[in-house]
Structure formats: structure tokens, C-alpha cells
Amino acid sequence: MESARTGRSRLKNPRPNAAMHRVSPSGGGKVNNAVNEQKELARRLITVLRGDEFLLYEQQIVPLNEQAVERPFHEILLRFQEEETKLLPPGSFLPVLEECGLMPLVDRWVVASLAKRIELARLVRADWQVPRYSINLSAATVFDTHFREIVDRHVKSTPVPEETFCFELAWDCVAAHPAEVLKLAVRLRGFGCRLAVGAFAGGEQDFGLLKKLAPDFVKLSPVLTRNIDRSRADATRLNAIVQACTAHGIRSVAEQVENALLVPQLRSLGVHYVQGFGIKLPGPL
């Protein structure tokens, strides 16, 4: 993303070769071709990042309490348009950005770009109800002190309601770096932001750390939800996890839901929100 000082990308030492450091050239021509393709993709991604050319998409997170009046809630997604009609999903390019050490810059870019979009939209429509936006953060960003400066600057300079920005970290990142995540959470909450954890599977040892972190939202791993219509044990386990979260003021989100027929049962089990291709497809911001 952009530099904490200037609001623009400053890629002094991009490392496109880093994405290929695990690939051995000993496998012959096919391996060499794959390496060259990865190098070329890394170079293109660096150019796109420098030129503010990534695309922001959004996917709605739908409340299951039909009686509640809720602020719209959307997750921000990143897309890369390789050609005029070819839109690449994140799984095809995020690993390259991670290998190149560029994910903290990407996360900064998302925050700054979203803040700019919100500011422009409110100039056009002053009565626009600003949604709450959930932004995924990479594990590397947990250690990026400049990211906190970026959030502070854009939250203060963008005339938006508190809690507009919600930052999401994968549970495996939280579990691997609890001390650093807790420090980051304190700073982000101090800026008026909300916190979510993703891919939570509800292991017995996880609840101690979850209660300590006290996120506003927990996104439930699809492992917990995909078979609830066929397995009473799975449904009972999901309900127990949701009730434990609710007891600590944590709202639950069933993510990656591909079957809309599960919605009534998810509601009956106490899940607060639902998200996935079976609910609402992502679209341009």
C-alpha cells in the first residue's frame, strides 16, 4: 500500500525473486517456465501497487435478526485485473505478494483507498449511510508499526462514523502471535475501529485467548457450519460455540456459506450474521 508518511506507495526494494526462492531450477524447462511466469507476475503486481491499480470489491455480511435495524456491513476484497477482461481472484496473486514481503504495503493501500472512496461518496451524497467495512489484515501487518500510523491518519481525516473500519485477522495468526495481536487490537480500538477474527474453529484451548482478545466479531470456520443440516452433533457444537461467544459480547458470522438453505438453521442456532457466495456475490465497491 502506501507509505505512512506520504500516502503513496514507496517500494524502494521490491523482491520479485523472493516469490521463487523455494523453487529449484533442477526440474527442467517446465520448472524454469513456471519460475519465469512467477517472476513476471511479481513484477506486474509491483507495478500495479505503485500505480494504485488494484481493484476493491465488497461482499455483504447479512444480519440474521430480521427485526434489528442494522448498519450495512461489508467485507472488502482485493482483485487484480491482469487484462481488460481477466479478473484474477486473490488466491492467484496474494501468495506472490506475501513471498515478496509486500502485504503490509497492500494493507496500507486498502485502508487509504477505502477512506478516499468514503470521503468522495459523502461529498456526492451527504445523507449516505456509511457501511461498516471489514478489512482483512495479513500476519505481516501485525508487526508493521507504520500501519497504525496510516489508520490513525485516515480515521482522523475521514469524516466517517466511529466503527466504520473493522479489521479482521485470521485465527491462526492470532494464535501464533497473541502478544503482538493484543497490542495491535488496543491501538486499533483507540482509533475507534472494531476487530474481527476469521476462520475460528472453536477448539477448547482457543476460548481463553478469544476472551482475552474480546473481538467484536468472530467468523466461524466453514468446518463448523457446512454439515449442520446433516449432523446433529455438528449443529449442537456450533450452537455451543455461538452461545459461548454471545455470552462474552462477541457476535458470530457464518462465512463461506454456499447453501442459502442453511440460513434458517443458522438463525435458529443463534448465529448473528451470514456471508458467502450462496448469500451475496462480491461486486465492485
pLDDT for position 170: 97
Helix (H) or strand (E) holding 196: strand 194-200
Among 28-37, 129-138, 217-226, 265-274, the minimum mean pLDDT is found in 28-37
pLDDT for position 42: 79
| Cβ–Cβ < 8 Å for 63, 273 | yes
pLDDT for position 31: 54
Q: What cell was used for 99?
A: 513471498
- Residue 107 domain-assigned (yes or no): yes
Q: What cell was used for 121?
A: 461518496
What percent of the chain is predicted at pLDDT more than 70?
A: 86
List pLDDT tens digits, range 92-129: 888 888 888 899 999 999 999 999 999 888 888 888 88
First to last CA, the chain: 18
pLDDT for position 96: 86
- Asked if the model's pLDDT at residue 18 lies above 60, the reply is no
Which residue type is seen at 267? R
Q: What is the CATH number of the domain that holds 206?
A: 3.20.20.450
- Asked if the model's pLDDT at residue 84 lies above 80, the reply is no
For residue 256, the tally of other CB atoms under 10 A from its CB is 18
- Residue 208 domain-assigned (yes or no): yes
| Cβ–Cβ < 8 Å for 188, 162 | no
| Cβ–Cβ < 8 Å for 131, 74 | yes
List pLDDT tens digits, range 59-83: 999 999 877 778 999 999 999 887 6
pTM of the model: 0.85
DSSP character at residue 64: S
Domain count, the chain: 1
pLDDT for position 236: 97
Q: What cell was used for 217?
A: 466479531
Q: What cell was used for 175?
A: 494464535
What percent of the chain is predicted at pLDDT more than 90?
A: 60
**CA-to-CA distance for 32 and 106, rounded, in angstroms?**
28
- Residue 18 domain-assigned (yes or no): no
- Residue 245 domain-assigned (yes or no): yes
pLDDT for position 83: 61
pLDDT for position 216: 97
Q: What is the mean pLDDT of residues 242-247?
A: 96
- Residue 45 domain-assigned (yes or no): no
Label residue 26 by pLDDT band (50, 70, 90): low
pLDDT for position 284: 94
- Residue 40 domain-assigned (yes or no): no
- Asked if the model's pLDDT at residue 9 lies above 60, the reply is no
List pLDDT tens digits, range 135-188: 999 999 999 999 999 999 888 777 777 889 999 999 999 999 999 999 999 999
- Residue 178 domain-assigned (yes or no): yes
Domain that holds residue 121: 54-284
- Residue 100 domain-assigned (yes or no): yes
